[in-house]
Amino acid sequence: MAALLQGKRVAFLATDGVEEVEYTEPRKAIESAGGTAELVSLADGEIQAVNHMDKAGTYQVDKTVQDADPTEYDALVLPGGVANPDFLRADADAVRFIRDFVTAGKPVAAICHAPWTLVEAGVVDGRTVTSWPSLRTDLVNAGATWVDEEVYVDDHLITSRKPDDLPAFCKALLDELG
């Protein structure tokens, strides 16, 4: 399995308030399969992860979203947390970065509250997605069909509901990349 994703580069777009396990588990899956994971964020330095609402670890940013080029990556992972996607969807560069991946037809994996960023990028109309339940109305109002499933894949768009869904989320991401 270590060579499955050899040569594949995956961007993880996250900032302060990212749900730690929703960042670390998919990253571990990519790296265990031989891929390269890079943390892209709003600013240089470190981001502060959370475990629900409590502070967790900090993670070094590899590249700012302003300097990141979607054409250099094979896929995008959007971890959740409540604050993380709320900050990201307010940043025009982050929204453009996400939109560029989706319009290029590259795999995009969003879990928990991260589909908020997909709404802001205008890429869910006509798609079937899942998310943390409180996002259902936002997604439906943006034109998506919302389903309550641990993972749903709609034409390279991978979505999941919560940390408990991480095994299925990571498997779907690896399947899309492999």
The answer to whether 170 is a known catalytic residue is no
- Of 52, 112, 156, 170, the catalytic one is 112
- What 171-176 contacts at long range (C-beta under 8 Å, 24+ apart), as own/partner pairs, is 172/109, 173/26, 173/29, 173/30, 173/75, 173/77, 173/107, 173/109, 174/4, 174/5, 174/29, 174/30, 174/33, 176/75, 176/107, 176/109
The answer to whether 52 is a known catalytic residue is no
- Of 52, 113, 156, 170, the catalytic one is 113
Query: How far is the C-alpha of 124 from the C-alpha of 168, rounded, in Å?
Result: 21
Catalytically active residues are 112-113
